DNA sequence: CTGTATCCTGAACGATACTG
DNA sequence: CAGTATCGTTCAGGATACAG
């Protein structure tokens, strides 16, 4: 439980994960998808999720350098859980 | 989604909710169940969950005064979601 | 018994500038 | 392109004491 909350509770964690659920992304593609998210915070969040085993990075040996971020199998299993949380939250908001 | 994370991401939110999933509790019963949780933080957390519509308080007109905390129907619907989060987190921990 | 009143601290968040 | 360096602010979490 701690581990799960540690992954999900960062300010930008779920937007980042939801974006990657749609497919692999490079750093700048993430930037474009989440324009309000500052570089440093994006880097922090990616590093944290990398270390948590939710996603992985592939550095490509080209110029200019590129990285690709992708969810691990475990990360992908968050999809249905995030959906359930979204639905639950909407129900909560509707009821009040 | 915001609403759901706002409920779950407080430091002691899930222990409190899990305890109430087992049944109604008074303030001091919560204290006994979660001895490491300081009074003020418990009060803060209960107030926050009350305001979020996850649980409700019934003050009883006796002496000494008693309060009973219980999950709302919506709060109870968190049960399966918390289970899913726990399972996911355990899978994550096991894999590393 | 059920909480409030104070006060403190660490860490997350974010803005800005800079580098390999 | 893909980040790091630095710095300032804010605020939840927590310790302690007290009150209705």
Section B12-24 average pLDDT: 98
Section A59-83 average pLDDT: 94
Tell me how far apart the alpha carbons of residues A75 and A54 are, in angstroms, rounded to a whole number.
Answer: 4
Q: Is the pLDDT of residue B96 over 80?
A: no
Report whether B55 contacts B70 (CB < 8 A). Answer: yes
Q: What is the DSSP string of B45-65?
A: HHHHHHHHTSEEEEEE-SSS-
Residues 22-61 of A with CB under 7 A from strand C: 37-41, 44-45
Section B24-28 average pLDDT: 97
The answer to whether strand C lies under 7 Å from the CB of residue B4 is no
Report whether B11 contacts B56 (CB < 8 A). Answer: no
Section B16-44 average pLDDT: 97
Share of chain A above pLDDT 90, in %: 91
Q: Which of B4, B8, B91 sits opposite A74 (nearest CB)?
A: B91
Question: What tens digit of pLDDT does each residue of A13-35 get?
Answer: 999 999 999 999 999 999 999 99
| Strand C contact nucleotides, protein CB < 7 Å | 1-6, 12-18, 20
Q: Where are the domains of chain B?
A: 2-95
Question: What tens digit of pLDDT does each residue of B37-75 get?
Answer: 999 999 999 999 999 999 999 998 888 889 999 999 999
B2-95 CATH fold: Arc Repressor Mutant, subunit A (1.10.10)
CA distance A49 to chain B (A): 12
Within an 8 Å CB–CB cutoff, is residue B67 touching chain A? no
pTM for the whole structure: 0.94
Average model confidence (pLDDT) across chain B: 96
> Does the distance separating the beta carbons of A77 and B88 come in below 8 Å?
yes
Please tell me the predicted confidence (pLDDT) of residue A95.
85
Report whether A15 contacts A34 (CB < 8 A). Answer: yes
């Amino acid at each position: 439980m701690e581990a799960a909350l540690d992954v999900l509770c960062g300010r930008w964690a779920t937007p980042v994960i939801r974006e990657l659920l749609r497919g692999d992304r490079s750093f700048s593609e993430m930037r474009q998808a989440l324009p309000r998210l500052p570089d440093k915070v994006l880097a922090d969040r990616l590093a944290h999720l990398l270390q948590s085993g939710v996603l992985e990075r592939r550095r490509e040996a080209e110029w200019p350098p590129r990285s690709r971020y992708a969810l691990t199998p475990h990360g992908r299993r968050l999809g249905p859980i995030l959906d359930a949380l979204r639905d639950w939250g909407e129900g909560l908001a509707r009821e009040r």
